[in-house]
Structure 1
Amino acid sequence: MIPADEIHQAKILVVDDCEDNLFMQIEILKMAGYSQISSCKNSSDVLALHVAHAYDLILLDMHMPGMNGLEVMARLREVEKDSYLPVLAITGDRGFKIAALEAGARDFLTKPYDMTEFQMRVRNMLEVRLLYKTVAEQGRMQKEMALHDALTALPNRRLLVDRIEKAMQHASRGHNMMAVMYMDLDGFKAVNDTHGHQTGDELLKMVADRLLRATRKEDTVARLGGDEFVVVLSDIAHVDDVVRPASKVLRFLSTPFEIGDLTVKVSASVGIAFYPGDGNDVEELLARADKALYDAKRAGKNRYHFSDLPMLLGAVM
């Protein structure tokens, strides 16, 4: 159920070319406790008003000069598409009932109408509309959760794969390169073992924040799980286009983290692979970057390592 106060705060647009009808409907709505009521006498303005304000209910007179109610609803469907069309059609012509419902109106009120019936139909329509919006928002949030890491809110592997594929396509069209930086934290296990998983989780969230600050807005920062992160860099023309952000990431992550009363020190090892030189599909590219990551660890940690630097330099110099 939708709370009564939420229903009363719903946005309502009353559309009628007759000033007396507008006044009467607005007064009935005010008496019923509705607080966000707008009105319109020109039917051709309805679409622009709805796009600007996203009304929860449009009380639409079907017989108006210029554009009639059916034409207004046809225009509204263009912006609502498969969504809910929040129209309560009002007319003195019962013959318009089927046509209005077929056009997308969710309910119908025939003039002259009873004030109690008017109020009940408005309330019922608003409750259904707000329930529809609640369900749609829950679906959107579930979709977001399916694509993002629950701890850091960064893209997860599923969304990362899509972002890499798009970056590869863009690089191919522009005859350019893209790169992935695959990294994990040096010393993260010791933090978990010494200070507990709650401290480890806080550290991961702070690492995510620093990675976002160390990279460009157009780059993708993702978490694969544990202490593994990936940065996707698009529009790479030269090795320096990766050296700079890789060095910046190492610098940002090696700065001590203040977590409560603790000062936590970690660093990162980074493996870097390029498209198209190191691979032509996502999994191959990630595998090459992962291997380069472990080469960086074996070389002493707190550093980056290219998957195949000689080949890369030959390709871009």
Structure 2
Amino acid sequence: MPSRQEILNAKILVVDDSPDNIELMEEILREEGYANVSSTMEPEQVCPLHREHNYDLILLDLQMPGLNGFQVMKSLKEIEKGGYLPVLALTAQPSFKIAALEAGARDFISKPFDLLEVHKRIHNMLEVRLLYKELAQYSRAQQELALHDALTGLPNRRLLEDRIETALQHANRSHAKAAIMYLDLDGFKAINDTYGHAYGDEILKMVSQRLLASSRKEDTVARLGGDEFMVVLGDIHSLADAQGPAAKLVDALVEPFFINDLTLRLSTSIGISIYPDDAESVDALISIADYALYEAKRAGKNRYCSTGTAPTGAAVKTPAKQGVPELVPHR
């Protein structure tokens, strides 16, 4: 639950066409300890102000010239779509109370004001509003976790498939191509087996950073799980536009990794598929890239391969045996 200090620091807007009513309400709020109170006598300014400040509570008079409170609430609903409309209606008309609630107000205060009622209704409204915001933030955080890999922070398979679909749609509209690069680390299992998963996790995080640093900002770098990654390139025009980035990634990952007192070396094999040359669906493109990855592994690893072309890249230089990382003390 929100603390009392959080409630007193909430952002409040008072809307009334009477300067006396505004002065009275501001005084009531100040005496109670509310520290972030503003006001307006122009109802047409409520929505622009709310967009800018995202108020926790709007104390809204229902009877005003020009736009009345009901019209203001209708416009506020366009801002708070699917959300919590933080309006506490102020009215001297008993018949307006139910109408205000039906229009979207969460509660109402009757004029003339009863001080105890005002304090209680404002406190209750803010408590609910702040709790709602906490839950909304938690929900957004959970959604982010559901779409990103917990170890590396990269998009996971669920988000990746959506990013691929978006890249294909963009390529189709612009009469361009898109590429999928399927990466698997060479020698990673030996690091896990020799030094444990803590070292393996550090390698995966460092690999992620190198992939990001070696890719364009508009490209998607994702982790599929284990030591498998994928890079999605949009807005390319030929296979050569994917082969250059693939070679760059191969070079980036063959550089040594320094962890504590060790220097660890591994490499990566990459399979490439091109939209629409190889396939037009997400699943088919992934399958073709996976097959090309297998061909790169079979050809000696530390290289990239695409369908219809020979695997390209240097043989692994450092390990004495294929798939075994070189371990060098680092001082």
Q: TM-score, normalised by structure 2?
A: 0.90
Partner of 2:121: 121
Q: Is the contact between residue 254 and residue 265 of structure 1 (CA under 8 Å) also seen in structure 2?
A: yes
Identity %: 59
SS in 1 for 2:268: strand
| RMSD, matched Cα | 1.5
Partner of 1:41: 41
Letter in 1 for 2:292: A
Letter in 1 for 2:250: L
Tell me how far apart the structure 1 counterparts of residues 308 and 94 of structure 2 sit (CA, whole Å).
76
Partner of 2:98: 98
What does 1:4-23 correspond to in 2, within 5 Å? 4-23=4-23
Q: Is the contact between residue 278 and residue 308 of structure 1 (CA under 8 Å) also seen in structure 2?
A: no
Partner of 1:30: 30
Unaligned runs of 5+ in 1: 311-317
Deviation larger for 80-89 or 156-165: 156-165
What does the per-residue CA deviation read over 1:50-95, in whole Å, with 9 as the maximum and x for residues that have no partner?
A: 0001001001111222111111111111111221100000011112
Deviation larger for 273-282 or 49-58: 273-282
How much has 1:309 moved relative to structure 2?
2.9
Change in CA separation of 1:33 and 1:259 when aligned onto 2, cut-off 3 Å: farther
Does residue 283 (structure 1) correspond to residue 279 (structure 2)? The answer is: no
Letter in 2 for 1:123: H
Letter in 2 for 1:71: Q
Tell me how far apart the structure 1 counterparts of residues 142 and 257 of structure 2 sit (CA, whole Å).
32
Does residue 64 (structure 1) correspond to residue 59 (structure 2)? The answer is: no
How much has 1:259 moved relative to structure 2?
2.6
- How many residues are aligned here? 310
Does residue 145 (structure 1) correspond to residue 162 (structure 2)? The answer is: no
Q: TM-score, normalised by structure 1?
A: 0.93
Partner of 2:233: 233
What does 1:1-317 correspond to in 2, within 5 Å? 1-309=1-309
Unaligned runs of 5+ in 2: 311-331
Partner of 1:314: none
How much has 1:33 moved relative to structure 2?
2.0
How much has 1:255 moved relative to structure 2?
1.9
How much has 1:264 moved relative to structure 2?
2.4
- Superposed structure 1 runs of 4+ greater than 4 Å apart: none
Letter in 2 for 1:258: F
SS in 2 for 1:309: coil
What does the per-residue CA deviation read over 1:187-245, in whole Å, with 9 as the maximum and x for residues that have no partner?
A: 11121122211111121112112211111121111111001000011112022211221
